[in-house]
């Protein structure tokens, strides 16, 4: 009796703290004169008397009490902590009913409970009024307290799923629609929970949502609504098509070179977007060279392709580029960005060994699934087996888990390390069970203990090892994030079973994140963006296309060259970047090619090739190209200006594609670039000293920098200005410098 009496009084005080500082309000219907909202059904209890998990927790979540800014943050608010968004019901129940001497609830007089008095501003509350006195939400909590604060009993139903009505569809501009969220329970009951559901829009300027009322804007675009009720999250995709209609015949007559085109054309038809015209030969030529080998074509190569009359010359070009040795260095350089460790932490030799290992894999065209298995199960000396450097750099199970899940599954688990992921299904149990696959990885040798010795270290698998839940202390057995992995044999390296599960054809994430990454490199934007964030609340812009590419990648034996060829031989890849009136605003449906700035290493190598003066790098052999550098500790002001990774930054590193003032000023004013252009033995000097007429020199420079011949107006105007200058060498240098400082040179068109 004494305990029951203390519980309510203490609970009222403590619960005030729980609700203090809550900033998220209950989703309310926006009543407007032109669009009256339909009356929302008041929340009701699921079955019998209200219980904590099915009835009370949804109210606390809807009112924002367990949001990250309030009591759901790591240490709670004013001594009162709840799990983020109610993902740990047991913890929340204990916090409300059992902690603080039970003073947060008062069964003898429920209306006097601190939980209700604070939430209704019956007592001062920093978070303001969260619950309206007399509302259905208030009554649910009051009845729950009055009946003894029951949890969910053994016979209580469980929440199976939520369903949103109507299904996702295209919305006309300036239209309004009310969504309904239905919760389905294990006893076959269904409850309308729209009022207790959280809604958000990825593009509120295109489509906004409040309380389930969806408002389409006036301008065309696409948006994904995230609909969350308790631990169930559903995306709802919609789009506002471009004003006006397009004849279906137009889409039916578009060329289809492979399955990619059909999926893209179908999506464009849905939103009324018309694709751009095909790219000109010179544009395709330069684009293909830059995408496959990271180089610009020579004037001789450009002339040969542009003059060819072969009907399949583009396919022949792609095949010839994929067979060139530069392919391995260029694509390996992309992957090393994602794996290269901080050399100041792991040492120079392991960094170099990892770089060499990745480059060798691309030279062999090693199947992607084999590449991943070799990396995940690597052991031995990091000096001799570069793949083992991954485990020298990421030394604990929790450190390696975040990298592996993000790179090879497209699942970002960093949040789940400390609490339940707010936008996904992953919790701490999932994180540390997955980390347990790496629990037996250990090290011996000089290692990298501070101060860094750079000594040799051996990565090996110990006979035992475990991972514990950070809160409960429970030892967690290795378990995949979803599906089933085969049992681990006694004495077997657990990473082998994990690698088999990750690379299994049944694991859709593995192939999808791989093809999405390659697609983004070639097309300028991933089907899912960011490329390694595959989750329900970040859906692909074209789900059918992503799945078709992944299926084809699996069928082709995870051959990266075949994947690249498949994408590059599509009609979509060959579209012009010049927009038309019906695709000007498109940034995610590939109705045109999206221009992208050249990678730092590509741009520097291109300038060196064009000027005929190779770059010199300290500590590297003479003639080394920037694409061959194996550590970012090599000094280069140019590469730093154009966005290469910081040597101190941890992988995976995604480069920023934006152009900056620093880059523009560097191209215009850098003394090192001026020396290249004006070098006495460089290209400009040789052209100036040749007996070529002015028009031929202009033509050569256009081919060097743009992979095309000058247009008629350019040819006339530039050639006349060139010929009029008294100093032929200065004229050649000036023209080379001018062409180099244009978007046409800096960007892949």
Residues 652 and 714 grouped into a single domain: yes
Closest CA to 116 of 4, 193, 11: 11
Residues 141 and 166 grouped into a single domain: no
Of 105-114, 204-213, 722-731, 735-744, minimum mean pLDDT range: 105-114
Closest CA to 571 of 363, 346, 265: 265
Closest CA to 15 of 66, 69, 84, 89: 66
- Who's near 723: CB < 8 A, 6+ residues apart? 694
Helices (H) and strands (E) in the chain, counts: 30, 16
pLDDT in tens, 113-159: 888 888 888 887 777 788 888 888 888 989 999 888 888 766 788 89
The percent of residues in the chain predicted with pLDDT above 70, rounded, is 91
Of 57-61, 399-403, 671-675, minimum mean pLDDT range: 57-61
Q: How far apart are CA 451 and CA 108, in angstroms?
A: 64
Which residue range is the domain that position 416 belongs to?
327-502
Decide which of 199 and 153 is more confident: 199
Residue 278 lies in a domain: no
pLDDT in tens, 226-251: 999 988 889 999 999 998 889 999 99
What pLDDT shows up at residue 423? Answer: 65
508-523 vs 397-409: helix crossing angle, rounded to 10: 70
What pLDDT shows up at residue 31? Answer: 37
What are residue 176's phi and psi, to 5 degrees?
-135, 140
Residues 337 and 424 grouped into a single domain: yes
Residues 142 and 222 grouped into a single domain: no
Residues 374 and 491 grouped into a single domain: yes
Q: What is the arithmetic mean of pLDDT over 9-17?
A: 34
Residues 236 and 370 grouped into a single domain: no
What pLDDT shows up at residue 447? Answer: 60
- Residue at a domain's end among 450, 473, 502: 502
Token couple for 560 = 């990266």
Residue 294 lies in a domain: no
Long-range contacts of 222-226 (CB under 8 A, 24+ apart): 222/271, 222/541, 222/588, 224/537, 224/538, 224/539, 225/179, 225/199, 225/200, 225/201, 226/198, 226/199, 226/200, 226/201, 226/202, 226/423, 226/537
Residues 625 and 724 grouped into a single domain: yes
- Whether 3 shows a pLDDT value over 50: the answer reads no
Q: How many CA atoms lie within 13 A of 238 on its CB side?
A: 29
Residues 633 and 716 grouped into a single domain: yes
- Whether 66 shows a pLDDT value over 80: the answer reads no
What pLDDT shows up at residue 94? Answer: 86
Q: Tokens 């209700």 label which residue? A: 116
pLDDT band for position 319 (cuts 50, 70, 90): very high
What pLDDT shows up at residue 405? Answer: 96
What pLDDT shows up at residue 39? Answer: 53
pLDDT in tens, 613-653: 999 998 899 999 999 999 988 999 999 999 998 888 787 87
Q: What is the arithmetic mean of pLDDT over 659-683?
A: 94
Q: What is the arithmetic mean of pLDDT over 425-443?
A: 92
What pLDDT shows up at residue 420? Answer: 67
pLDDT band for position 21 (cuts 50, 70, 90): very low
What pLDDT shows up at residue 448? Answer: 55
Residues 174 and 130 grouped into a single domain: no
What are residue 689's phi and psi, to 5 degrees?
-80, -10
Residue 680 CA: distances (Å) to CA of 605, 669, 683, 702, 735: 19, 19, 9, 21, 16
- Whether 1 shows a pLDDT value over 80: the answer reads no
Number of domains within the chain: 4
Q: Tokens 């998220």 label which residue? A: 24
Residues 170 and 222 grouped into a single domain: yes
Residue 519 lies in a domain: no
Residue 558 lies in a domain: no
Residues 142 and 163 grouped into a single domain: no
Element at 441 (helix H, strand E): strand 441-445
- Residue at a domain's end among 476, 502, 528: 502
pLDDT band for position 20 (cuts 50, 70, 90): very low
How many other C-beta atoms are found inside a 10 Å radius of the C-beta of residue 21? 21
Element at 180 (helix H, strand E): strand 180-185
171: CATH: 2.60.40.1080
How many other C-beta atoms are found inside a 10 Å radius of the C-beta of residue 601? 22
Of 280-289, 341-350, 577-586, 731-740, minimum mean pLDDT range: 341-350
Residue 649 lies in a domain: yes
Decide which of 43 and 524 is more confident: 524
- Whether 741 shows a pLDDT value over 60: the answer reads yes
Tell me the average pLDDT of the chain.
88
Residue 627 lies in a domain: yes
What pLDDT shows up at residue 421? Answer: 65
Q: How many CA atoms lie within 13 A of 60 on its CB side?
A: 37
Residues 188 and 91 grouped into a single domain: no
- Residue at a domain's end among 479, 502, 525: 502
Residue 429 lies in a domain: yes
What pLDDT shows up at residue 63? Answer: 84
Residue 335 lies in a domain: yes
pLDDT in tens, 470-524: 888 999 999 999 999 999 999 999 999 999 999 999 999 999 999 999 999 999 9
């Amino acid at each position: 009796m004494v305990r029951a009496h203390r519980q309510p009084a203490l609970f009222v005080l403590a619960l005030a703290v729980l609700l203090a500082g809550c900033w998220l309000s209950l989703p309310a219907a926006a009543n407007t004169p032109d669009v009256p909202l339909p009356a929302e059904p008041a929340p009701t209890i699921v079955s019998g008397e209200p219980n904590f998990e099915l009835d009370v927790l949804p109210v606390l979540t809807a009112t924002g009490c367990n949001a990250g800014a309030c009591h759901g943050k790591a240490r709670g608010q004013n001594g009162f902590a709840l799990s983020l968004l109610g993902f740990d019901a047991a913890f929340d129940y204990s916090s409300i009913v059992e902690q603080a001497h039970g003073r947060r609830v008062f069964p003898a007089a429920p209306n006097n409970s601190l939980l209700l008095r604070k939430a209704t501003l019956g007592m001062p509350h920093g978070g303001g009024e969260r619950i309206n006195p007399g509302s259905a939400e208030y009554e649910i909590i009051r009845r729950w307290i009055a009946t003894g604060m029951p949890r969910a009993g053994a016979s209580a139903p469980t929440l199976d799923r939520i369903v949103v009505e109507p299904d996702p569809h295209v919305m006309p501009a300036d239209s309004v629609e009310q969504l309904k969220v239905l919760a389905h329970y294990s006893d076959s009951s269904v409850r309308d929970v729209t009022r207790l559901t959280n809604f958000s829009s990825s593009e509120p300027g295109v489509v906004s949502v409040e309380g389930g009322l969806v408002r389409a804007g006036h301008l065309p675009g696409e948006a994904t609504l995230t609909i969350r009720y308790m631990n169930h999250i559903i995306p709802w995709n919609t789009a506002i098509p471009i004003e006006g209609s397009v004849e279906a015949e137009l889409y039916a007559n578009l060329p289809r070179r492979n399955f990619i085109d059909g999926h893209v054309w179908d999506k464009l038809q849905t939103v009324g977007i018309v694709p751009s015209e095909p790219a000109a030969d010179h544009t395709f030529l330069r684009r293909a060279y830059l995408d496959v080998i990271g180089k610009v074509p020579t004037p001789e190569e450009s002339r040969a392709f542009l003059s060819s009359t072969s009907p399949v010359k583009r396919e022949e070009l792609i095949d010839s580029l994929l067979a060139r040795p530069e392919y391995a260095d260029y694509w390996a350089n992309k992957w090393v960005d994602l794996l290269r460790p901080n050399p100041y932490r792991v040492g120079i030799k392991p960094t170099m060994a990892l770089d060499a290992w990745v480059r060798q894999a691309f030279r062999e065209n090693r199947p992607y699934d084999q590449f991943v298995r070799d990396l995940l199960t690597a052991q031995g000396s990091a000096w001799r087996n570069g793949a083992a450097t991954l485990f020298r750099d990421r030394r604990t199970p929790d450190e390696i888990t975040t990298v592996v899940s993000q790179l090879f599954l497209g699942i970002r688990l960093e949040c789940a390390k400390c609490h339940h992921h707010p936008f996904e299904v992953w919790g701490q149990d999932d994180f540390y069970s997955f980390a347990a696959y790496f629990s037996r990885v250990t090290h011996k040798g000089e290692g990298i203990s501070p101060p860094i010795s750079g000594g040799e270290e051996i990565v090996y698998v110990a006979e035992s090892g475990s991972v514990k839940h950070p809160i409960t202390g429970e030892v967690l057995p290795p378990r995949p994030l979803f599906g089933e992995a085969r049992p681990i044999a006694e004495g077997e390296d657990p990473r082998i079973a994990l690698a088999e599960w990750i690379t299994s054809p049944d694991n859709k994430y593995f192939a999808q994140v791989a093809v999405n990454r390659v697609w983004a490199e070639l097309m300028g934007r991933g089907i899912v963006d960011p490329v390694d964030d595959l989750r329900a609340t970040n859906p692909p812009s074209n789900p059918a296309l992503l799945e078709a590419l992944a299926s084809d990648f699996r069928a082709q034996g995870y051959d990266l060259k075949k994947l690249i060829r498949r994408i590059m031989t599509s009609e979509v890849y060959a579209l012009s970047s010049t927009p038309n009136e019906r695709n000007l605003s498109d940034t995610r449906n590939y109705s045109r090619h999206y221009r992208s700035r050249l990678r730092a290493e590509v741009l520097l190598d291109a300038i060196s090739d064009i000027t005929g003066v190779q770059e010199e790098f300290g500590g590297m052999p003479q003639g080394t190209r920037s694409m061959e550098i194996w550590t970012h500790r090599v000094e280069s002001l140019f590469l730093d200006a154009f966005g290469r990774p910081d040597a101190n930054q941890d992988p995976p590193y995604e480069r920023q594609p934006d152009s900056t003032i620093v880059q523009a000023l560097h191209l215009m004013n850098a003394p090192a670039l001026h020396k290249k252009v004006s070098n006495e033995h460089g290209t400009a000097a040789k052209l100036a000293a040749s007996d070529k007429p002015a028009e031929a020199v202009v033509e050569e420079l256009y081919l060097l920098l743009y992979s095309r011949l000058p247009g008629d107006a350019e040819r006339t105007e530039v050639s006349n200005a060139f010929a009029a200058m008294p100093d032929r060498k200065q004229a050649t240098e000036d023209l080379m410098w001018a062409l180099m400082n244009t978007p046409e040179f800096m960007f892949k068109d």
